Amino acid sequence: MKRPAYRSASIFRAGLLLSAVVGLSAVTVEGVAAQDFDAVLAAPDDVDLNLDYARRAADAGDLNGAAGALERVLIADPNRHSARLMYAVVLFRLDDLQGARDQLDLLEPVTLTPLQRAEATRYRARIERSRSTTRFSGSASAALTWEEDAAGALTTQFDSLITPPVSEEGGAAAFTARLNVAHDLDGASGYAAFGSIGGYERSTFDGIDGNVRRGDVEAGLSYTGRLNSWNVSAVARALDLLDDPYMREVGVKAQARWRTSNATTFSVSGEAVSQTFDEPAVDAVALIIGGDRDGWRYDVNLGLTHRLNVRSSVGVSVGWQDKQANYEPFGYSGPGVQARYDTSTRRGQYLAISGGMQWLEYDAPDPVFIGLGAPVREDTRSWARVAVGAPISAFTAAGATGDWRQDVGLEGALTYGARESRAPLADYDSWGAELRLTWRFGAAN
């Protein structure tokens, strides 16, 4: 597939910029850490110096360095309760659940501030959930959305019509929920059986007929080790479009992760699903044209995530998608790339920037639905999202509450989606906005 030179150059420049940011951040963190450690070595009994080093090390993601400094602080000053609470949190993040629990036990009879006591109680509950052989977690959200071209966005997203309708802006209310459960297998350390069920509903305003409902279930086996993890599962999904059944998927998926350092993780994932579509207009002529949109879809992705510091990370993935169809012109394949940057503050406010592009070439010309003599369809699809948000606790004077307000957040986002296609198919692009209220709960929180 041919790609414009300016697009390739833009992707190349973005890759160079991303590499420079990662490299500069890593060098800066390593340089600061080295200078701080030299100062600690020169004065190992200086409580304030060790405490400052522990905070800096934790912010840089060096949890072992932070734990060592906090141990020195507590040896010199056992009644430094704020340091002991921080030590318990660091041990929890290092997955030393018993050590974290022991430190919290030492804080039970002492006097803490209301916020410190709330945090101690919160982490004790997280430890108990993590130690349980059966763990539940989940999330729910409610959102108001607006799109500059709501009708075209719907058509393009699901590829249900050949020519998008007249551009028309519109809003919608969207609701999402997910529940996860995991159960550790007896006598098999690190192994767990897991399941997940989720749903999504979007109801449009302004008289635009664009209602969407999705649901999915997943069940499988996972393994979590010190430096690697993997999972395999069976999946089933259902999609209703315009209040009618549209697509069903059944198949398998798998993912594996390798942590090469405290900051860098590689991943590989794949999925194979059988798709069944309910499209009356296509089904009516399926016997004549030799098939419909039904067929298998295959996806494979390679990813890299790098933590710049304890509150910032970048990620990039490249992949390939192959969609097969009984009617060959509905089949396609092509590469894709995605990137993401996340950063947050001590109070929990965050910025998340993500985007991606996909280049698809269809398997054959489509004389029936596109037109006799039309060239093979080629699409370039792109999307981007910039979101800012914060837990409700971030708006309090202390910036933390230790209660449910740290689990409920408010998020605003700007979105962009586009599709470039060969004539006679119409191109599409649209800006959008979202305002979302979210709630996360359970063992993963």
Q: How many CA atoms lie within 13 A of 176 on its CB side?
A: 11
User: According to the model, what pLDDT value does residue 343 have?
Assistant: 95
From its phi and psi, is residue 95 left (phi > 0), alpha (psi between -120 and 50) or beta? left
Intervals of CATH 2.40.160.40 along the chain:
134-442
Q: Which CATH superfamily is domain 5-131 in?
A: Tetratricopeptide repeat domain (1.25.40.10)
d(C-alpha 85, C-alpha 107), whole Å = 8
Query: Rounded to an integer, what distance in angstroms lies between the CA atom of residue 210 and that of residue 138?
Result: 27
Tokens of 240: 């209703």
Max CA distance (Å), the chain: 85
* Class of the domain covering 134-442: mainly beta
Alpha helices in 233-348 (DSSP H): 280-283, 286-289
Match 């594996």 to its residue by tokens: 256
- Pairing type for strands 134-147 and 244-259 reads unpaired
As annotated, the residues of the chain forming the CATH 1.25.40.10 domain(s) are 5-131
Joined together, the tokens standing for residue 214 give 């999705």
CA dist., res. 220 & res. 185, Å (int): 12
The rounded distance, in Å, linking the Cα atoms of 258 and 178 is 26
- Distance separating alpha carbons of residues 231 and 400, to the nearest angstrom: 34
Tell me whether residue 123 is exposed, middle or buried, using C-beta atoms within 10 angstroms of its C-beta: 0 to 12, 13 to 18, 19 or more. Answer: buried
Q: 3-state class of 363 per DSSP? A: coil
Element housing 345 (H / E) = none
Reading the chain (445 residues) residue by residue, the pLDDT tens digits are 444 444 444 444 444 444 444 444 444 444 444 445 555 555 556 777 888 888 888 777 778 888 888 888 888 888 888 888 888 888 888 878 888 888 888 988 888 888 888 888 888 888 887 778 898 999 999 999 998 887 666 666 666 544 455 667 888 999 999 999 999 998 888 899 999 999 999 998 876 677 899 999 999 999 998 889 999 999 999 999 888 899 999 999 999 999 998 789 999 999 999 999 998 888 899 999 999 999 999 999 999 999 888 789 999 999 999 999 999 999 999 999 999 999 999 889 999 999 999 999 999 999 998 888 889 999 999 999 999 999 999 998 888 887 888 899 999 999 999 888 887 877 888 899 999 999 999 865 5
What's the pLDDT at 281? Answer: 85
Residue 25's pLDDT is what?
44
3-state secondary structure of 244: strand
* pTM over the 0.75 mark: yes
Residue type, 161: L
What are the DSSP calls for 38-97, one per residue? HHHHH-TT-HHHHHHHHHHHHHTT-HHHHHHHHHHHHHH-TT-HHHHHHHHHHHHHTT-H
Three-point CA angle 439, 444, 445, nearest 5°: 45
Secondary structure in 3-state letters for 375-436: CCCEEEEEEEEEEEEEEHHHHCCCCCCCCHHHCEEEEEEEEEEEEEECCCCCCEEEEEEEEE
What are the distances in angstroms from CA 376 to CA 55, 360, 372? 58, 11, 11
Cis check: omega of the bond before 109, within 30 degrees of 0 = no
The CA distance from 229 to 221, in Å, is 11
Q: CA–CA separation, 304 vs 331, rounded Å?
A: 29
Task: Give the angle subtended at the CA of 315 by the CAs of 127 and 351, to the nearest 5°.
Answer: 75
What is the number of H-type helices and E-type strands within the chain?
A: 9, 14
Q: What pLDDT does residue 155 have? A: 63
End-to-end alpha carbon distance in the chain: 44
